[in-house]
Amino acid sequence: MKNIVLIGFMGTGKTSLGRRLARRLGREFVDTDVEIENITGKTVARIFARDGETRFRSEEALLVEKLARRRNLVISTGGGMVLNPENVRLLRENGVFIALTAAPEVIYHRVKRKKIRPLLLKGDLKERIRTLLKERDGAYHIAEFTVDTGACNLEEAVEQIIRFLSERNYI
């Protein structure tokens, strides 16, 4: 069966939802940020600070090459993963993209206490979220199905995704 690949901006709930979805479907769950941290032995924040964003993006691309060869996974991606067209091409070969969205205010409330996202540390947080969302406008539209995680709870979001996947015979 194809991999289920969750994409979307930071704070849209990819990790929590992915974990639940995987549990419901009895599939293995992979969070790309966690996997990169395991492979490199460094936190994402440390990679950004010490080695730079370019290095982090190379780690993402290497990981995608590996994951795209596997099957039956639920994969939660880092918010910038789909900005690289090659990542999208590889993951699409053997996967279905599901996008998670949320309004800027919802994202703000979800990420404000966690100081773990390097791209959100510069300047005013609300402003930064708005700017990045604008910069990435369209990047998440590649998905076959989109869920607004600000409009329902986690369980309902999982149900919507499962309904979509089974209607399309992905599961």
Contact 153, 160 (CB under 8 A): no
The owner of tokens 């600000």 is 150
Q: Which residues make Cβ contacts (< 8 Å) with residue 112, sequence separation at least 6?
A: 125
Considering beta carbons, is residue 44 or 91 the nearer one to ligand S3P? 44
Tell me the per-residue interface mask from 13 to 52 with ligand S3P, x by CB under 6 A, - otherwise: -xx-----------------x----------x--------
Under rule CB under 6 A, which residues in 107-166 are in contact with ligand S3P? 117-119
Nearest to ligand S3P of 17, 158 (CB atom): 17
Which runs of consecutive H residues, i.e. helices, occur in 2-151? 14-25, 32-40, 44-46, 53-67, 85-93, 104-111, 125-135
Q: Does 78 bind ligand S3P (CB under 6 A)?
A: yes
In this complex, which beta carbon is closest to ligand S3P, that of residue 3 or of residue 87? 87
Task: Return the amino acid letter for 14.
Answer: K
Closest distance between ligand S3P and the C-beta of residue 155, in Å? 20
Least Cα distance to 45 among 61, 56, 35 occurs for 56
Q: What stretches of 94-152 show up as alpha helix (H) in DSSP?
A: 104-111, 125-135
The least distance separating ligand S3P from the CB of residue 3, rounded to whole angstroms, comes to 17
Q: How far is the CB of 93 from ligand S3P (least distance, A)?
A: 22
- The token pair at 93 is 């070969």
Contact assessment for residue 101 and residue 27, using Cβ atoms and an 8 Å cutoff: no
The residue within the footprint of ligand S3P, chosen from 13, 80, 95, 150 (CB under 6 A), is: 80
In angstroms, what is the minimal distance from the CB of 159 to ligand S3P?
A: 22
Interface with ligand S3P by CB under 6 A: which residues? 10, 14-15, 33, 44, 78-80, 117-119
